[in-house]
C-alpha cells in the first residue's frame, strides 16, 4: 500500500511537494484553509480588473538559469508568455531628474555612468559583480545532506569565482550599500529597490537574473500561475481540501520515538497519515499546531535571531483610459513625508503600471498598484478587529496618498478612477496566516547570512517543514526547491530512487 502524506497549506510549496510526492508513488492530501490555491501567490477580481498580488519576476523564467529545467518538470514554461522588462525600475527626485535601472547590464552601466559620473568607481564594481553572477547557477538538483564529495567539489569549483562577491555583500544591508553612493537618486534607487534592511547581495543577484533574461513576469498574473500547479497536482492524482484549516498536528508514540500521525481540522475532523508536511506559516506550525512541544535551541534561536520581511499595504487603482508613463515601475517622491501608520513614514511611493499585462485591465483602461511596506501589522489587525470604520477610513486615506501623487505627476483626476482597492497586513494574515503578514518569510539579512534552517523538529519523526519559513529569502524558487528536496529526502529514507516525472509502465 502507498504511504500517505498530509500536506498543510496549498500555497506553491505545498502544491509542488504534493506533485513530486505523487510522481514518486505517495498518496497525498493537501489541506488549505483558504478557498483557493496559491497562498501569497495570488490575484483577485474587482470591477473587471484582476489585481495582481505577487509575481514581479520569476527566477528561471528563461533557459539561462537552471531553475528553468526544474520549473519544466512541473509546468510547461514554453506555453507561458513572459515579459522581460527593458527597465526594471525608474527612480525620480522632486526636480524630475531620473535614473533608470535597466535590466541589461551594459545599458545599466551606461545609464549610471551618464547620470552619476561621481560614482563611477562603485558603478563599475557593481556591474563587474553582476556580470560575474550572471554566469553563476545555484546548484539545485540535490537536497543539502544528499550531496557527496564529488557534488561538493563541483559546487566549490563553480562557486569560487563568485565567493568574494558573496562574502562581501551578504554582510551589507541595501541601506549601507546605498549610502556609499554620492548621487542622491542612486542612493534612493539602491535603498528602496527591495527592502532597505535586506542583505544587498540579493539585489546583485536580482540584477544578474534580469541581465540574463531569466526573471520574467508571466502574463495572466499570479493566481493563473498558481492554478497551473494546482492543475498539475490534481492531474497526478493528488487530493486537495479547501476551506480546511488545520488546528493541530497529531503525534503518537511509535516504538522508542514519537511520530507525526495526522492532523485535526478546526471543525474537529481527524485525518491520519504516515507523514505530515507543513507548508504553512512556521510560527503557527511550531507553537500552535504542535503547541511548542518540539523545541530545541536551534529552532528557538531562529525565531529569535532572524528578521522578517515586512508586511505591506497594496493600493490598487483602476483608471479609465491608458495612463501614459515613461516606465512601468517608478519610485516617485511625495511632496512631503507622510505617515502610513503610527510607526511607518515614507517620502516616496513605488508605482507599478500594469500595461505589460493586458489581461489585468478592461480594454483601454489601466491598472496601477503600489506596495507600501510596513512592519506594524499589529496596528492594522487590531484596528480592523476593534474599529472597523477607522480601519476602512485609514485604508482610504492611504489610497488618497497615491491618488494625489498620480494627480500631480500624471494629471489623473478623481473621476478617472473607477476602481479602488486597498489590502492591508490584516488582509494578508486573514488569507494566508503568515506571521506578521510578512510577504516573503525570513529576510536574507547580514546578521544571519547563509545560515540554514532545519526542515525537521527535534524529537518528532515523520514530520517536515517546507516553504518560505525554512528557506531564508523566500520567493517562488524556494517553494520549488523545498517541495522537491523534501520529496528527495523522503524517497531516500524509504529506499526509493527519486523520480522527477511520471514514468510510463511497460505496456501501458
Ligand atoms: C506582494 C508580493 C510580491 C512577491 N513577489 C515575488 C516575486 O516577484 N518573485 C518571487 O519569487 N516571489 C515573490 N513573492 C514571494 C512569494 O510569493 C512567496 O515567498 C511564496 O509564494 C511563498 O509560498 P509558500 O507556499 O511557502 O507560502 P504561502 O504562500 O504563505 O502558502 C502557505 C499556505 O498555507 C495556508 N495555511 C496557513 N495556515 C494554515 C492552516 N492552519 N491550515 C491550512 N492551511 C494553512 C495558507 O492559506 C497558504 O495558502 C512575493 C510575495 C508578495 C506577497
Q: How far is Cα 209 from Cα 65, in angstroms, rounded to an integer?
A: 8
Distance 443 CA to ligand 1 centre (A): 14
Distance 41 CA to ligand 1 centre (A): 6
Output the residue whose Cα is nearest ligand 1's atom 45: 9
Q: How many C-beta neighbours within 10 Å does residue 315 have? A: 25
Residue 422's nearest CA partner among 447, 448, 392, 378 is 392
pLDDT(347) > 50: yes
Q: How far is Cα 181 from Cα 184, in angstroms, rounded to an integer?
A: 7
Distance 43 CA to ligand 1 centre (A): 12
For residue 504, what is its C-alpha cell? 510510463
Q: Which residue has the cell 569549483?
A: 157
Distance 98 CA to ligand 1 centre (A): 33
Q: Could you tell me which residues are beta bridge partners of residue 102?
A: 87
**Is 19 within 8 Å of 483 (Cβ atoms)?**
yes
Indicate the top mutation candidate among 248, 476, 485 to test ligand 1's pocket, ranked by most ligand atoms within 8 A of CB: 476
Per-residue pLDDT tens for 174-190?
A: 999 999 999 999 999 99
Assign domain 311-437 to a CATH class: alpha beta
> What is the DSSP secondary-structure string of 8-77?
E--BHHHHHHHHHHHHTT-EEEEE-SSSSSBTTS-EEEETTEEEE-S-S-EETSSTTSTHHHHHHHHS-G
pLDDT for position 256: 85
pLDDT for position 508: 32
Q: How far is Cα 158 from Cα 383, in angstroms, rounded to an integer?
A: 51
Distance 38 CA to ligand 1 centre (A): 7
- 4-41+222-306+447-493 is classed in which CATH architecture? 3-Layer(bba) Sandwich (3.50)
Distance 470 CA to ligand 1 centre (A): 13
pLDDT(69) > 60: yes
Identify the residues whose C-beta falls under 6 Å from ligand 1: 8-14, 31-34, 39-41, 53-57, 245-246, 279-281, 284, 371, 432-434, 439-440, 467-468, 474-476, 479
According to DSSP, residue 224 is labeled H
Q: Per mean pLDDT, which range of 119-123, 137-141, 265-269, 360-364 is the poorest?
A: 137-141
Ligand 1 atom nearest to 312, measured from its CA: 1
Per-residue pLDDT tens for 191-207?
A: 999 999 999 999 999 99
Q: How far is Cα 244 from Cα 216, in angstroms, rounded to an integer?
A: 33
Cα 170 → chain centroid: 19
Q: How far is Cα 493 from Cα 98, in angstroms, rounded to an integer?
A: 56
What's the pTM?
0.96
Distance 413 CA to ligand 1 centre (A): 35
Output the residue whose Cα is nearest ligand 1's atom 48: 39
Q: How far is Cα 438 from Cα 54, in angstroms, rounded to an integer?
A: 13
According to DSSP, residue 277 is labeled E
Output the residue whose Cα is nearest ligand 1's atom 41: 246
| Domain limits, CATH 3.50.50.60, in the chain | 4-41+222-306+447-493
Q: How far is Cα 271 from Cα 256, in angstroms, rounded to an integer?
A: 23
Per-residue pLDDT tens for 472-492?
A: 999 999 999 999 999 999 999
Ligand 1 atom nearest to 245, measured from its CA: 42
Output the residue whose Cα is nearest ligand 1's atom 6: 55
For residue 281, what is its C-alpha cell? 506559516
First-to-last alpha carbon distance for the chain, in angstroms, is: 21
Distance 440 CA to ligand 1 centre (A): 7
Output the residue whose Cα is nearest ligand 1's atom 1: 54
Indicate the top mutation candidate among 210, 373, 440, 485 to test ligand 1's pocket, ranked by most ligand atoms within 8 A of CB: 440
How confident is residue 503, by pLDDT bands cut at 50, 70 and 90? low
| Domain limits, CATH 3.30.519, in the chain | 311-437
Distance 214 CA to ligand 1 centre (A): 21
Amino acid at each position: 500500500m502507498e504511504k500517505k502524506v498530509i500536506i498543510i497549506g496549498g500555497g506553491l510549496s505545498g502544491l509542488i511537494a504534493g506533485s513530486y510526492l505523487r510522481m514518486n508513488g505517495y498518496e497525498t492530501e493537501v489541506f488549505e484553509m483558504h478557498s483557493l490555491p496559491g497562498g501569497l501567490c495570488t490575484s483577485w477580481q474587482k470591477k473587471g480588473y484582476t489585481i495582481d498580488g505577487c509575481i514581479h519576476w520569476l527566477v528561471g523564467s528563461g533557459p539561462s538559469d537552471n531553475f528553468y529545467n526544474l520549473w519544466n518538470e512541473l509546468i510547461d514554461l514554453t506555453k507561458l508568455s513572459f515579459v522581460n522588462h527593458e527597465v526594471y525600475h525608474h527612480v525620480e527626485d522632486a526636480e524630475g531628474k531620473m535614473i533608470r535601472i535597466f535590466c541589461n547590464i551594459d545599458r545599466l552601466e551606461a545609464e549610471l555612468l551618464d547620470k552619476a559620473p561621481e560614482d563611477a568607481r562603485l558603478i563599475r564594481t557593481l556591474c563587474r559583480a553582476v556580470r560575474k553572477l550572471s554566469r553563476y547557477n545555484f546548484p539545485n538538483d540535490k537536497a543539502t545532506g544528499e550531496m557527496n564529495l564529488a557534488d561538493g567539489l563541483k559546487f566549490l569549483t563553480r562557486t569560487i569565482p563568485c565567493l568574494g562577491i558573496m562574502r562581501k555583500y551578504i554582510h551589507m544591508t541595501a541601506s549601507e550599500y546605498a549610502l556609499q553612493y554620492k548621487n542622491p537618486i542612486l542612493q534612493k534607487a539602491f535603498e528602496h529597490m527591495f527592502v532597505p534592511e535586506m542583505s544587498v547581495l540579493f539585489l546583485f543577484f536580482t540584477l544578474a537574473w534580469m541581465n540574463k533574461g531569466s526573471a520574467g513576469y508571466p502574463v495572466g498574473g499570479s493566481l493563473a500561475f498558481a492554478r497551473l500547479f494546482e492543475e498539475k497536482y490534481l492531474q497526478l492524482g493528488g487530493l486537495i481540501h479547501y476551506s480546511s484549516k488545520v488546528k493541530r498536528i497529531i503525534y503518537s508514540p511509535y516504538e522508542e520515538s514519537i511520530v507525526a500521525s495526522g492532523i485535526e481540522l478546526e471543525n474537529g475532523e481527524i485525518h491520519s497519515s504516515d507523514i505530515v508536511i507543513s507548508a504553512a506559516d512556521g510560527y503557527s506550525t511550531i507553537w500552535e499546531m504542535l503547541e511548542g512541544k518540539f523545541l530545541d535551541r536551534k529552532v528557538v534561536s531562529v525565531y529569535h535571531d532572524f528578521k522578517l520581511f515586512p508586511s505591506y499595504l497594496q493600493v490598487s487603482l483602476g483608471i479609465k483610459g491608458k495612463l501614459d508613463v515613461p516606465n512601468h515601475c517608478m519610485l516617485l517622491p511625495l511632496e512631503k513625508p507622510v505617515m502610513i501608520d503610527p510607526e511607518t513614514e515614507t517620502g516616496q511611493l513605488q508605482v507599478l503600471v500594469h500595461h505589460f499585462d493586458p489581461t489585468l485591465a478592461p480594454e483601454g483602461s489601466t491598472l496601477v498598484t503600489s506596495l507600501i511596506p510596513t512592519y506594524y501589522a499589529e496596528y492594522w489587525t487590531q484596528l480592523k478587529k476593534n474599529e472597523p470604520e477607522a480601519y476602512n477610513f485609514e485604508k482610504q486615506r492611504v489610497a488618497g496618498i497615491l491618488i494625489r501623487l498620480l494627480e500631480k505627476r500624471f494629471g489623473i483626476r478623481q473621476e478617472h478612477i473607477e476602481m479602488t482597492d486597498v489590502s492591508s497586513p490584516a488582509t494578508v494574515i486573514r488569507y494566508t496566516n503568515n506571521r506578521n503578514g510578512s510577504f516573503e518569510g525570513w529576510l536574507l539579512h547580514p546578521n544571519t547570512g547563509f545560515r540554514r534552517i532545519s526542515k525537521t523538529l527535534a524529537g518528532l519523526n515523520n514530520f517536515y517543514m517546507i516553504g518560505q519559513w525554512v528557506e531564508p529569502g523566500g520567493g517562488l524558487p524556494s517553494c520549488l526547491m523545498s517541495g522537491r528536496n523534501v520529496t528527495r529526502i523522503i524517497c531516500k529514507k524509504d529506499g526509493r530512487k527519486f523520480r522527477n516525472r511520471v514514468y510510463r509502465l511497460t505496456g501501458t
